[in-house]
């Protein structure tokens, strides 16, 4: 998914949906790191993508919090 499309999708999420998506990404990262330790090569690219998505979610959460105040 392209970055712009991903951001547009996440901007429509509520605070609870962002929290759920964050938890899902953390779980996914855990599993990918485990696969990497087992020697699966394709996990490196996916880990990088998941980390960036998680950072985007954290940024949007902070933006929503600052707008609410």
pTM metric for this prediction = 0.81
For residue 3, what pLDDT band results from cuts at 50, 70 and 90? confident
User: What is the per-residue pLDDT for 1?
Assistant: 59
* Measured CA distances, 40 to 4, 25, 26, 31, 51 (Å): 29, 19, 19, 11, 18
Six-digit token string for 58: 């954290």
The residue written with tokens 């993508």 in the block is 49
DSSP class of residue 53 equals H
* pLDDT tens-place string over residues 9-68: 888 888 889 899 999 999 999 999 988 888 877 778 889 999 999 999 999 999 888 888
CA 17, CA 20: separation in Å to the nearest integer?
Answer: 5
């Amino acid at each position: 998914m392209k970055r712009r499309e991903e951001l547009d999708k996440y901007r429509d999420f509520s605070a609870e949906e962002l929290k759920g998506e964050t938890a899902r990404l953390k779980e996914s990262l855990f599993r990918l790191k485990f696969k990497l330790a087992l020697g699966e090569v394709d996990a490196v690219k996916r880990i990088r993508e998941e980390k960036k998505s998680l950072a985007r979610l954290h940024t949007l959460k902070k933006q929503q919090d600052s707008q609410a105040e």
